[in-house]
Chains A and B, each alone.
Chain A
Amino acid sequence: MVPPASSPRSGSVTPRVVFPNKVLPYLLVAPQLAITLVFFYWPAGQAFYQSMLRQDPFGLRTKFVWFANFRKVLADPAYLNSIKVTVVFSLATAIVAMCVALLLAVMAEKVVRGKGLYRTLLIWPYAVAPAIAGMLWLFLFNPSIGSLAYMLRSFGIAWDPLLNGTHAMILLVSAAAWKQISYNFLFFVAGLQAVPKALIEAAAMDGAGETKRFWTIIFPLLAPTTFFLLVVNTVYALFDTFGIVHAVTGGGPGKTTETLVYKVYNDGFVNLILGDSAAQSVILMVIVISLTAIQFRYVERKVHYG
C-alpha cells in the first residue's frame, strides 16, 4: 500500500506511459504477478477448497461437504462472540492508536529544539515485533510482578487480566495500539508538514485561536492521511495482532479476547478442526476485501485531497 503523501490522484493528470514493445510490460510485472499467484491466489484457493472438506488432522479420511462448514461456523455462538470481540478490539485499537498519534504529532510539531530526537524516540516502538510488544505489556501488567499492575493495585483497582475480561481487553488494546502509534505518528507528521503555513498564519491574523485553527484548517487538510491510516489501522487490528493476542491472553479469560484471527489459529492448529478453520479464514478474507472496497469506494469520496 502506498501512502498518499503526495496526492495519489496525480496519476490521472500525467499522460499514460506507452511501451513500444508489447511483451516487455508483461515481463516487467511478471515477478509481482508470480509472487501474488504463489503467495496469495494459491493458498487462498487451497483454503477455499479445504473449507468444503471434513477431514481428520492427518488427511486420512476426507469428505466433501459443500458449505456445511460455513453453516456450522456461522451458527456457532462462539464465532458470533468472536465477531463482537473483533469489532470492539479493532475499533478501540484504531481509535486509540490514531488519537494518541495525532496528539503526539501536533505536539511534536510545536517543539522547537530537539525535534529530531523526539520524533526518533516516538517512531522507535514500530520496530518492535508484535509478540515482543505483547510480552512487554504482559510484564508491565502482570498481576504478580508487573510494576504498572502494582501501581494500579495501590490505587485500589483490583487489577486481574487473568480472570477479568475487561481488564484483559484493555491490556490487549494498549499493547496493540502502542505498537501502531509510531506508524501513525510518522504519517501525521508528514501530513502536518504538507499543510500550507500561509493558511495557518492567515487564520491566526484573522483571530482564530489554536483550537479553532486545528479543527477548521489542519484537521480537514489531514483528511487523506487520516483516511489512509484508518484503512491501515483497521487491517492491522484485524490481521497483524495475532502475535499480541497469542502472547498476552491466548484468547482468555473465557473467550473474552478471542478475535477472529485467533479463532482461526485455535480451531486449526490447536483443536485440529481444519475444515472449520479454513471456512473461517475464507470468511475473514471476504470481510477484509469488502471492508477495503467499501472504505475506498464510499468513505474516500468524502475525503478532500489537498
Chain B
Amino acid sequence: MKSFGFAAGVAATFMTLSSTSAFAVTQISWWHAMTGANAEVVDKISKDFNASQSDYELVPVFKGTYPETLNAGIAAYRAGQAPDIIQVFDVGTGVMMAAEGAIKPAADVLTSAGMTFDKSQYLPGIVGYYSKPDGTMLSFPYNSSSPILYYNKDIFKKAGLDVDSPPKTWNEVWEDAKKIKASGAAACGYTSTWLTWIHLENFAAWNDVSWATQQNGLAGGDVELKINAPIFVNHFQALADLAKDGTFKYGGRTSEAKQIFLAGECGIMTESSGGLGDIVKSGMNYGIGQLPYDSDAKGAPQNTTPGGASLWVFADKSDEEYKGVAAFFAYLSKTEVQEYLHQKSGYLPVTLAAYEATKKSGFYDKNVGRETPILQMTGKTPTDNSKGVRLPNLPQVRDIQNEEFEKMLAGQQTAQQALDNAVTRGNAAIKEALGN
C-alpha cells in the first residue's frame, strides 16, 4: 500500500507540473537522431528559439540512430503518442510519404498558420526532393549532405601524384588508386562509404542516367530499377577488379570506410560531406574534390542528390501546436540560424540567403572545399534522373543491393550478375511493398 501511495503522489505531482506548464506555453516535441557536434547544434537552436518568443516551448528529444528514431516515431504514432516533429533520414522519406494520413505537409503547416511559404528562397535541389510531384512541400529540410571525394595529400605526394589536382573522373580515380598501391604509398588506393548511395543513386544523378523508372520513383506508381544498365555494370566491374588485389578496399555498408581512410590505409575516399568534421578533427593533410563522374556519360557532371534528413510533422495535433511548429520552421529559415547550422555542422544551408551570406563572410575562402557539395547540388537544373530517388521500401532495396555487392566483391559473382540479381530481387520487393 505504501508504494501505491508513493506512486499516486508522483503521478499527482507530475500532473500538476505538466498542467501548469501547458497553461503557460504550448510544448512542441521534436524527436531527432543527432549526436556529437550535431546534437549541440540541435540544443542551441532549440534554446535560442525558446528564448526568442514566449508562446511555445520546443523540447528536443534524442531517440537514437536514424532508423531507431523512425521506428520510435512509427511505434508512437500507432500508440497515439506521436511527437509533433520527427527527424527522418533521406532513406525513410518514401516511408513517410506513403503514410499520407499520418503526416501533415510542412507547406500546409506554414500556410494554415498564416505564413507564406516562398519556395524560391530555398535551394531548389533540396526542397524538390522533399516535395510531392505536384510541388507541395511535405517535410522541412533540416540537414542535407552530398557525397564528395576526399584524398590524403601525404599519400598523393609519396605516390608522385599532383597534390593539387584530385581525380575528376572514375577512370582517373582507378589510375590514381593503382599508382598509390603500386608505389607502396599506401596499402590501398581507394575506398568508399555507402556504395548504394554514392555508387548507385548519386552515380546515376551525377551522370544523368536513370536509376529507376517513374523519375526514379518520384512520380510514384510501379517503379522498376534500371541499375543493370551497361554504365553501372562497367563501373562495378571496375570496382570488383580493383578489389581483387586490394587496390579498392571495402569497408562496410554504411560509413565504416571512413575509419580505413582516417587510419591512412587508403589514399582516396568518397564519403558524405557530413563526414568532414571527423577528417578535420583527425589533423590529416586532406584535400577535397567533387564527386567523380563517368567520362563516357554525355551529360556528366549533372548534379548530385541530397542525403541527410528532414523534419516531418505528424497529423492530428491541435491548432496551437501547429502554430508553434510553423513558428519554429520560420525561425529555422532565418539566415543567421541557417548560417550557424551550415558552418557548425558541415551540412548544407537550406536557403539561398544563408548560402550567399556565408559566401560573403569569406568562410569558403578560409575553408576550401566546403562549397563543393553545394556547387555539386545546385550547378545545373535537375533532370528527371537527378531529382533524387524514392521508394516506399528504400532501406530494404539498399540491403538487397549491399548483399549482392558483397558477394561480387568476394569474387562469387560478376558485376553483371550482381546488378541483375539486385534488379530482380529489388523489383520483387518494391512490388510487395506497393501491394500493402
Contact = CB atoms under 8 A, between A and B. Distances in A.
Given A270-B67, A271-B395, A144 B265 contact: yes
Contacts of A253: 403, 406-407, 410
A162 B74 contact: no
Q: Kindly name the residue among A57, A164, A271 whose own CB sees the greatest number of chain B CB atoms within 10 A.
A: A57
Interface stretch (B14-22, B145-153, B246-254): B246-254
Interface residues of B, number: 34
A269 B92 CA distance: 12
Nearest to A258: B403
Contacts of A255: 403
B77 interface: yes
Q: Which 10 A-B pairs have the closest CB atoms?
A: A253-B406, A271-B396, A163-B410, A58-B99, A58-B102, A56-B436, A254-B403, A59-B78, A254-B407, A254-B406
Given A57-B95, A269-B67, A163 B399 contact: no
B402 A57 contact: no
B409 interface: yes
Interface string B246-264: 0000111100000110010
B101 A270 contact: no
Nearest to B436: A56
A252 B78 CA distance: 31
Contacts of A302: none
Contacts of B433: 273
Contacts, number: 73
Q: How large is the interface on A (under 10, 10 to 19, 20 to 34, 35 or more residues)?
A: 20 to 34
Contact of A270 (B99, B259, B396): B396
User: A-side binding surface: helix, strand, loop or mixed?
Assistant: loop
Interface string A53-75: 01111111100000000000000
User: B-side binding surface: helix, strand, loop or mixed?
Assistant: helix
B45 to A, nearest CB: 28
A266 B407 CA distance: 19
A162 B260 CA distance: 13
A56 B436 CA distance: 6
Given A163-B409, A269-B67, A270-B67, A60 B101 contact: yes
B280 to A, nearest CB: 21
9 contacts: A54-B436, A56-B98, A56-B99, A58-B99, A60-B102, A144-B260, A164-B410, A250-B253, A254-B406
B44 to A, nearest CB: 31
A164 B396 CA distance: 22
B189 to A, nearest CB: 15
Contacts of A57: 74, 95, 99
B315 to A, nearest CB: 10
Interface of A: 54-61, 144-145, 162-165, 250, 252-255, 266, 269-273
A269 B72 CA distance: 10
Contact of A162 (B78, B251, B436): B251
A72 to B, nearest CB: 9
Contacts of A270: 67, 395-396, 399
B272 interface: no
Given A59-B77, A163-B410, 8 more contacts: A60-B100, A252-B253, A253-B407, A254-B406, A270-B67, A270-B395, A271-B395, A272-B74
B111 interface: no
B337 to A, nearest CB: 31
Nearest to A255: B403
A58 B78 contact: yes
A55 B432 CA distance: 12
Contacts of A58: 74, 77-78, 99, 101-102
Contacts of A60: 99-102
A25 B287 CA distance: 75
B403 A61 contact: no
Interface in B94-138: 95, 98-102
B250 A163 contact: yes
Nearest to A54: B436
Contacts of A266: 399
